[in-house]
Amino acid sequence: MEETYIDSLDPEKLLQCPYDKNHQIRACRFPYHLIKCRKNHPDVANKLATCPFNARHQVPRAEISHHISSCDDKSCIEQDVVNQTRNLGQETLAESTWQCPPCDEDWDKDLWEQTSTPFVWGTANYCGNNSPASNVVMEHKSNLASGMRVPKSLPYVLPWKNNGNAQ
């Protein structure tokens, strides 16, 4: 039994493709090949079912219940479930001694105690009041050349986006 288990883990072992019997695939490439070959042979794929314990096992739909009851990988899954339930029982017995460290931060207090005004894009100066709620723009500097102004509204179709259609 142990030799069979070691042999099945050999990445260079050749496995027969369930979709095309002429395909002999190395074990390390087998999962990738199954996906590719399943797409290339949808008629055969509809006749096969995937084992819930090992996706490499493609079994005829009529034989899937027999395969599930006798699958070698079933014992590995069942053993994992048993181990998890044992560990779960042990974890509940141990009480945690972790305590939340004290927090000295107060972000709201820090916000009100700020000495400098926050940065706001496109504004220059603020009133002397440091409260964030009362920041009022005192002066606005425009980066446009003198004699130019910002349009009050944008056109529905931008001239450079009309794809050469004349209106």
- Listing DSSP states for 11-33 in one string gives TT-EEE-SS-TT-EEEGGGHHHH
Which one is predicted more confidently, 132 or 159? 159
Stated pTM of the model: 0.45
For residues 149 and 165, the answer to whether their CB atoms sit within 8 Å is no
Structure tokens that stand for 156 in this block: 């529905």
The pLDDT value recorded for residue 103 is 84
Structure tokens that stand for 117 in this block: 């005004």
The pLDDT value recorded for residue 81 is 77
For residues 58 and 34, the answer to whether their CB atoms sit within 8 Å is yes
Please tell me the chain's helix, strand, coil percentages from 3-state DSSP, rounded to the nearest 5: 40, 10, 50
The pLDDT value recorded for residue 24 is 95
Instruction: Give dist(CA 3, CA 27) in Å, integer.
Output: 16
pLDDT for residue 161 is more than 90: no
The pLDDT value recorded for residue 2 is 44
* Per-residue model confidence as pLDDT tens digits over 16-72: 999 999 999 999 999 999 999 999 999 999 999 999 888 899 999 999 999 988 888
Task: Report CA dihedral (78, 80, 83, 88) to the nearest 10 degrees.
Answer: -110
**pLDDT-based confidence at residue 1 (cuts at 50, 70, 90):** very low
The pLDDT value recorded for residue 46 is 94
* Per-residue model confidence as pLDDT tens digits over 132-153: 544 444 555 666 677 777 677 7
- Other C-beta atoms closer than 10 Å to the C-beta of 17 total 19
The pLDDT value recorded for residue 109 is 79
* Per-residue model confidence as pLDDT tens digits over 78-124: 777 777 777 765 555 567 788 888 888 888 877 777 666 666 676 66
